[in-house]
A = this chain, B = another copy of it.
Amino acid sequence: MTFVAIVPAGGAGTRLWPLSRRSHPKFLIDMTGAGRTLIQATADRLEPLVDDLIVVTGSAHAEAVAEQLGIDREDLVIEPSPRGTMPAIGLVAAIVEQRYGADAVVGSFAADHVITDAAAFQGAVRRAIDAAQEGLVVTVGITPTGPDTGFGYIRQGTETSVDGVFGVEEFLEKPDLATAAAYVESGEYTWNAGMFIAKAGVLLDALARYKPDLAAGLRSIAARWDGPDRGEAMSAWDSLEISVIDRAIAEPLAAEGGVATVPVSMGWSDIGGYDSLAAHLVDPESGISRGGARQSVMVSESEGSVVYAHDRPIVIHGIPGAVVVDSGDVILVTTREASSGLSGVVTGLTGDLEPLR
């Protein structure tokens, strides 16, 4: 069996500005102080599982991705323009189908998530691969740690023939708080982290049923990918339909019983903002969340603060939940609560400080 990881490295969001910005989005940064950038940590986690790993990214970050992963730029799939997750994942699936055959299994894993329990992740992916070999499209579902309203949910059904893999009854949009609480209470729902594992042929055949033009377009590009015409083939990219894999395949196929899920607890976070980043930065000595340089930081009467130091000490007094980020070229001062509204503040910035939109 051949297993190829697809790693979409893109994404938007101003909520982690100025750490994450247009010139260096969070997947290129060591956000948690682990010593590896998020995309390096993603590759590290997948390394024991994969025969190949293909990153899909924009041209702006291709050079940095290639350098951080120690690969050639030609081994990347570079999107001429962002068209959503379906064309990105679908093109790599089609390339894998060409190279390794329709039975090769692909799995998509975002480049900017944090997973603290790599062994649990690898176990879940192995079970997902087993179920994918049965012809299912399999998603990894995150066991909720609370009634979060920022994620879509997966309602799971009965166990499949593969241990620990369950049918998916439905994908649900981001709920309100009461609904989220009911989901979590029931124990039948997990968070949709956007990880899909399937045979390349299964994925593309499903797409061919729901969006035949898109599937044909992707397979046509893939047929010329590993040859002299790659550039010309990609000229068709900008005419492909913009779509996301959840809408294009996962939801309609789940309604037909073709999707399964592996629920897992693995310390997952998409670190969408300073509030969710905080949990990954708690310094046991100080009790506060610390990132950045090993500068002296003093915090008083400011419980739950998040601090990124650069080249000078930081003193915080009397602001619970403060967020203070010295990125070296700019200083952000806000609170965990207020930081969700950061977009409107920094959206007009240009040059080096331009946020990732």
Q: In chain A, residues 274-333, which have Cβ atoms closer than 8 Å to a Cβ of chain B?
A: 298, 300-301, 312-319, 322, 324, 326, 328-333
Contact B314 A341 (CB under 8 A): no
Q: Are A317 and B339 in contact (CB under 8 A)?
A: yes
Q: Known contacts A298-B345, A344-B300: does B334 contact A318 (CB below 8 Å)?
A: yes
What is the total number of copies of this protein in its complex? 2
For the complex, is A195 an interface residue (Cβ under 8 Å from B)? no
Question: Which among A315, A324, A338, A342 has the greatest number of chain B C-beta atoms within 10 A?
Answer: A315
A279 to B324, CA, bound (A): 25
Q: How far is the CB of A350 from chain B (nearest CB, A)?
A: 12
Partner of A312, one of B324, B331, B341: B331
Q: For the complex, give the distance between the alpha carbons of A341 and B312 in Å.
A: 22
Q: Shortest distance in angstroms between A138's beta carbon and chain B's nearest beta carbon?
A: 41
Q: Which residues of B contact A301 (CB under 8 A)?
A: 338, 341
Interface string of A331-357 (1 = CB under 8 A from B): 111110111011011100000010000
CA distance A43 to B346 in the complex (A): 43
Other-chain residue from B300, B312, B315, B337 in contact with A318 (beta carbon distance below 8 A): B337
Distance from A14 Cβ to chain B, minimum over Cβ atoms (Å): 11
Please give, as numbers and ranges, the residues of chain B lying within 8 Å of A346 by CB-CB distance.
298, 315
Give the interface centre of A313, A317, A337, A342 by most chain B CB atoms within 10 Å: A317
Closest to A336 in B: B318
Q: Given A300-B345, A344-B300, A345-B300, decide whether A332 and B318 contact each other with a Cβ distance below 8 A.
A: no
Inter-chain contact B331/A318, CB cutoff 8 Å: no
- Cβ A314 vs Cβ B333 within 8 A: yes
Are B333 and A319 in contact (CB-based, < 8 A)?
yes
How far is it, in angstroms, between the C-alpha of A168 and the C-alpha of B345 when the chains are bound?
A: 54
In the complex, what distance in Å separates the CA atom of A88 from the CA atom of B134? 92
Q: How far is the CA of A316 from the CA of B341 in the complex (A)?
A: 12
Across the two chains, which residue of chain B brings its CB closest to A18?
Answer: B315
Closest CB in chain B relative to A238 CB, distance in Å: 35
Chain B residues in 8 Å Cβ range of A345: 298, 300, 315, 317
> In the complex the two chains form, what is the Cα distance from A346 to B299 in whole Å?
10
CB-CB < 8 A to A18: which residues of B?
315
Among all A-B residue pairs, the 4 with the closest Cβ atoms? A318-B338, A317-B334, A300-B345, A314-B331
A residues contacting B by CB (< 8 A) are 18, 298, 300-301, 312-319, 322, 324, 326, 328-335, 337-339, 341-342, 344-346, 353
